Chain A
């Protein structure tokens, strides 16, 4: 296993309840690489993203991000907020009591960005996500595609080192999905973000990913 990789997941084991979701699982991501994770439901795709984000703790094994040990053997050494992660959840998890502007402002404020600078950053990120005029809307006032873009804007706002996307387009129709895949491609090229993308859709992978990993029952098959 290379020590130069930007993200390293080494011999991870994770049990949820009675079920071993990941067993001796290892993975590497290079800086700026776009990796897609494929697999059946329950194969542990989402668990890997949650372990990388620090929302779960590995029972055994190590996780390294940008040369720092963040988790090891049942302990998280670096809390989620200090890992430099942007996360787009499967259900998007947009805060229903905040406008999109307020949501993005919340994450920027949490990153200690001064108030004066935040206004410009919010406009920039909403423009990047192609929703420049929707900042004052609440999530329930947006269409499916707009909500998707809003979730992406929130994840990109604090300029994360790693972007994790958990089946973010599973609920969209084919046309909208195709449009958003193109936009995601452009964003990835622009920011050269190290990205991990969980999906069931092989067509999305062929357009987006540098590399695809097929998962089966939590064990990575030999390449």
Chain B
């Protein structure tokens, strides 16, 4: 390149500024997220049709039941989740009473609102586990809200919002452990487990060793049993008892023979390819615009 072909000083200054911005701590460059929201809004009109085509070309892999059966299954799953959540809440409250102390308990006025949000963009080379959905802070979406899919499958958590869009991090791609509970059929209690995303669409981790009361017989997890979220410290109440997936494989822990390692696969085989998500928005006494979907 000759000197006549030089892009000029302004170019080198811009390049230097970019390098500087890259190396600065995220706290200082937080204001850039506003421009990010603007850029995503500008790109959304073209990325959304492309995302639709993408999901048509490669669907999630979930085999759809006939409409009537699917509706009943969805309803059954909603009631089961509600029942398990209330059982869990009951258990927690009994524990509180037993301890005879008052903690800063869940705000009794907390309500959950649901919004169906279409996916407008997928992840990139640096962020394969993120997806952008068309519902932002104008609709009351906030960081930490939950994204669920068909059959109350937990998809992920909102990790950033702007006025019109939000970014959801998918649980199978997140850099975070999840505490769950294996739910043997017909019981409200279960086997706690700690799951770590494996990067291949599954989560894997050890299950706690528990025994049947008044006996030494261990409670064994079984392939096909559902695993639900029970992680009150890191996930909001609206997410508790949502389905993480079902057990696909069980193997003994290499160093702890009494423990089992389970591999859990979400009920939606490829969550990155869902067409829309159900955002479960926790309201805490703030006024937000009218929802697009139904509420609970």
Q: Do A and B make up one complex?
A: no
Q: Enumerate chain B interface residues (CB-CB to A < 8 A).
A: none
